[in-house]
Structure 1
Amino acid sequence: MDPVVVIDFETTGLSPDMGDRATEIAAVLIRDGRIVDQYQSLMNAGVRIPSFIEHLTGISNAMVREAPPASRVMAEVADFVGDYPLVAHNASFDRKFWDAELARIGRRTPQAFACSMLVSRRVLPQAPNHKLGTLVEYAGLPVTGRYHRAQADAEMAAHLTLYLERALMARFGLTEVKHDLLGRIQRTAKTQLESCIARYGGSAAVSG
């Protein structure tokens, strides 16, 4: 796979459109089939964390009060990500916060997102469900920490992305899997995976 960055946010709620803000972000760089670098930080956006979110994530209001400002963290993580394409598990959620938090500091990144949850639904339809924890257990991937903490979730999503890459290579005889192919797969019906790969051009296309 070409280099990609897997990201994960923890937040105060479900939508930046409702005033919710990020409380933590992690970014994991994958290159040459392995994790090679990481960024992680709590961030202080000046917004109170509801008690049920504190219970879910273990991130308290006291913790974020001591964290660096969200503006500094987002500038740092944007520099870390650079122009690499992005992956997230349930990417529609993370993309909303990625765009909203970067917009607050006057930055944006144009790269595409791929969703490891949507890709796994096509590649692993036999899994019990496609939550990150279920897929980690199903595939025998390492549990790298507490679920609903950004670094652990990003690391596990990175291991899942590599697993999906290997599964696609083994099943379809691909020499590598480009980020663009993941994007096509996530937009394809589960029953059309083989034709999606064929339309993409097989191993010759995904290596160019």
Structure 2
Amino acid sequence: MQKALADSVVVLDFETTGLSPQYGDRAIEIGAVWLEEGRIVERFQKLMNPGFRISRFIEGYTGITNEMLSGQPRCEEVMAEFSEFIDGRNIVAHNASFDKRFLDSELKRVNRAYKGDCCCSLLVSRRVFQNSPNHKLQTLLSHAGVPKTGDFHRALADAEMTAYLWLSMIERIRRQYRISEVSFDQMSELSKIDKLYTHRYLTSLADTSEI
């Protein structure tokens, strides 16, 4: 069975009313890009009405206002549609534990479940860009020389910029370690190892890769 490649994934981002779906926070925007062999082939973006007014802090942080959310479809409607978009695909997100919590929570409300695997680009970046001042998306884009393509803290723009960062890390690994193809499982494994062993791990991949 052919391994899933790291450059063929859905990269997603949520904007939300707060940090914890377990305490009643909801999604207010979903943005995602579908990568196929390193190219964006489709985009998904929707605002969604959480059913209550969002705070002034969230309005200021995201630029999404209560007026913008008024009349938008409910979260349940949007997430039912989004579940079709990600069906059968692996996903990537920056600080994925946050986005995965909201993904799972919102899908549960519509009796859907995500069956693919998820990898965190932030954790990978801590291994690939160890000299970066920090590993926030904005800092990493500058550190890696990846152009800014939109406004931070809007879901589609963040997803798209995360996708380009993700591809830049794959390309850096391929070039530096002479690996012809990087699999999704290899990136997931990289995200979990001690960063001190990054070079050893990637070197071991080069030994077994077809080049």
Q: Does 1:202 align with 2:206?
A: yes
Specify the alignment match of 2:131 in structure 1: 126
Q: Deviations over 1:35-94 (max 9, x none)?
A: 111100001120321110100001111111221111111011111111110000000000
Q: Which runs of 5+ in 2 are unaligned?
A: none
Match of 1:179 among 179, 184, 209: 184
2 CA distance for matches of 1:150 and 1:86?
15
Segment drifting more, 84-93 vs 185-194: 185-194
Q: How many Å apart are 1:132 and its aligned residue?
A: 0.2
Assess if the C-alpha contact under 8 Å between 1:175 and 1:203 holds in 2: no
Match of 2:197 among 192, 196, 200: 192
Match of 1:141 among 124, 146, 155: 146
Q: How many Å apart are 1:194 and its aligned residue?
A: 2.4
2 CA distance for matches of 1:203 and 1:11?
43
Q: Does 1:151 align with 2:156?
A: yes
Q: Deviations over 1:117-153 (max 9, x none)?
A: 1000000101111100011111221212110000100
TM-score by length of 2: 0.93
Assess if the C-alpha contact under 8 Å between 2:181 and 2:209 holds in 1: no
Identity %: 46
Specify the alignment match of 1:111 in structure 2: 116
Aligned residues: 206
Give the 4+ runs in structure 1 shifted more than 4 A.
Answer: 203-207
2 CA distance for matches of 1:198 and 1:108?
36
Q: CA RMSD in A?
A: 1.6
Specify the alignment match of 2:31 in structure 1: 26
Assess if the C-alpha contact under 8 Å between 1:181 and 1:206 holds in 2: no
TM-score by length of 1: 0.94
